[in-house]
Amino acid sequence: MPDASTILQQNAHVAGGGTTAGTTRRRAPVTGEGPVARAVLIGVAIAFLSLFLLLPLVVVFVEALRAGAGAYVAALTEPDAVAAIQLTLMVAAIAVPLNLVFGVAAAWAVAKFEFPGKSFLVSLIDLPFSVSPVVAGLVYVLLFGAQGLFGGWMRENGVEIIFAVPGIVLATVFVTFPFIARELIPLMEEQGTGDEEVAMTLGASGLQTFWRVTLPNIRFALLYGVLLCNARAMGEFGAVAVVSGKIRGYTTTMPLHVEILYNEYNSVAAFAVASVLALLALVTLVAKVFLESRYSDELAARSH
């Protein structure tokens, strides 16, 4: 197999041949663009990133600290904010492990086995990516709402789903379902069934094979998927807004609480809570960058 740098050089020749046809071929810049073009392109990219990503992030923290550190702390220790943070963590703590189990099971089934309806299962896994979160929320209202399919029976039997924590968990599980499975399926497909077959031949049971062979093979991809899933679980707004009922301090997750505070003209508190979400996102990002480097090592190691 050719290594990455030769491929890059070949591509550069193709690109260079197109743009600098007839002129003398320079050796130094691999990509074929002159230093000016490169500086402009990099400058545009950086300006764009600063304007659309970095600046809003900075604004969140500036607005949050506008009234001083005291107001910032007060906004975060206010009971409704604490309840929102707790609820968000709890929803993530339920949704992520559930999707961990479902995701690994689904990826395992799709990548290691052939069965009828496999492509249907794959499209089903992708469904939450293509369905609008609002629709995802409304579907649960139609199923479990008082006027819904099962809602009347559930109310009579004291089961609360919509406008309570279970509904928020359901909606979150729905929208975050593909993250782990989608992360694992390509990797597990690439790895094939060779290792497992060897383990089986050597007398390992199915569970032993999974725990000792498959799981270690996918651990970084799995962690990466968990991080993405967690980030979305904590940040989900649309689907949760539909099923929440917006009961302050009870069914408001952090994103909903941010909106409520903003609508109460309390922008310091709104941005304080938003900054916690942003911090959680930054932690996720750092962990992701770290894992990405590990994960690519792992992938590189596989091909040897």
CB-nearer residue toward another protein: 32 or 103: 103
CB of 241 to another protein, least distance (A): 10
Q: How far is the CB of 62 from another protein (least distance, A)?
A: 17
For the bound state, the minimum distance from the C-beta of residue 183 to another protein, rounded and expressed in Å, comes to: 16
Q: What CA–CA distance (Å, rounded) separates 190 from 54?
A: 36
Both tokens of 278, joined, read: 């942003």
Smallest gap from Cβ 213 to another protein, in A, equals 10
Q: What is the DSSP letter of 211?
A: I
CB atoms within 10 A of CB 88: 27
Q: Which is nearer to another protein, 37 or 93 (CB)?
A: 93
Helix 118-130 to helix 165-191 angle (10° resolution) is 130
Q: Which is closer to another protein, CB of 52 or CB of 265?
A: 265
Of residues 193 and 266, the one with the C-beta less far from another protein: 266
Write the single-letter amino acid at 143. L
Are 269 and 163 contacting, i.e. CB atoms less than 8 angstroms apart? no
**Least CB distance from residue 130 to another protein, whole Å?**
25
The smaller minimum CB distance to another protein, of residues 112 and 219, is found at 219
Q: Quick count: other Cβ atoms within 10 Å of Cβ 106?
A: 22
Q: How far apart are CA 110 and CA 155, in angstroms?
A: 38
For Cα atoms 228, 233, 237, give the angle at the middle one, nearest 5 degrees.
125
In the complex with another protein, the residue whose CB is nearer, 16 or 99, is 99
Least Å from the CB of residue 180 to another protein: 14
Residue type, 74: A
Please report, as ranges, the residues that interact with another protein according to CB under 8 A.
Answer: 83, 86-87, 89-90, 93, 97, 141, 144-148, 151, 155, 160, 162-165, 212, 215-216, 219, 245-250, 260, 262-265, 297
Residue 275 CA to residue 58 CA, distance in Å, equals 10
